[in-house]
Amino acid sequence: MSTAEIQYIETPRPDTGLTNGKIGIWLFLASEVMLFGALFSAYVLLRVGAETWPMGRDVLNIWLALVNTVVLITSSVTMVLAWAALMKNNYSEHKKFLALTFLCGLIFLGIKAVEYGQKFSHDLFPSTNNFLAIYFVLTGLHGLHVLGGMIVMLYFLLFGRKNWVERPKMYTNRIENTGLYWHFVDLVWIFLFPVLYLL
């Protein structure tokens, strides 16, 4: 082990009781809470300050969004099952669930692209009104987060095996941390769906 090795990525640090990777991802998620929180307060301010505000379901396609909600919830389950498979030392099962999670992300973004396409074809753009502006900002930023998670998953699907064979504990922790991020992305959508589409 070289001296430049990052400490406590396999075993928990004695004082925090957590691996450094887990502390790191949770601190990152804390900053993400503030990022999305700021945009949610922007939404509230725009809405209470507006003379008229459309019902989301009159402008947006609620059924496509409902399918996307189910897709994202499903992907959270497959993600946690991918981690559980590693805990049971079953790499092939892990890879299957990780690939399914990636696929769910792809379906989510595909449906989102259809939704955006429908809006653009009806001349509905972020510049059209404040509702669409905040809709595109919130869902666009969320979509980028989905894409980011998928890039990490693709990396593990393509190059993860070597890491698993050499340092299984480290790989398992990396997948758990990837999962924490992915569940957070799901969690943000859980709020975006009713706020933008239903209310």
Partner 1 sequence: MDQETLSVEEVNRHVKLYLGVFAALLVLTAITVTVAFVDLGHGTNIGVALLIATAKASLVGLFFMHLKWERKSLHGLLLLTFFFFAGMIGLTVGGYWDTPNGTVHDRTPVEIQAIHHQSERSE
**Tokens (6 digits) for 111:** 């449906």
Q: Are 20 and 13 a contacting pair, CB within 8 Å?
A: yes
Q: Are 175 and 135 a contacting pair, CB within 8 Å?
A: no
Q: How far apart are the first and last CA of the chain?
A: 55
36-75 positions binding partner 1, by CB under 8 A: 37-38, 40-42, 44-45, 48-49, 51, 57, 62, 66, 69-70, 73-74
Residue 54 has φ and ψ, to the nearest 5°, of: -70, 150
What does the CA dihedral 25, 30, 31, 34 come to, rounded to 10 degrees?
Answer: 160
One residue of 28, 125, 155, 191 binding partner 1 per CB under 8 A: 191
Stretch that binds partner 1, among 13-21, 109-117, 138-146, 154-162 (CB under 8 A): 13-21
Q: Footprint of partner 1 on this chain (CB under 8 A)?
A: 11-12, 16-19, 22-23, 26-27, 30, 33-34, 37-38, 40-42, 44-45, 48-49, 51, 57, 62, 66, 69-70, 73-74, 76-77, 79-81, 84, 87-88, 169, 173, 176, 179-180, 183-184, 186-187, 190-191, 193-195, 198-199
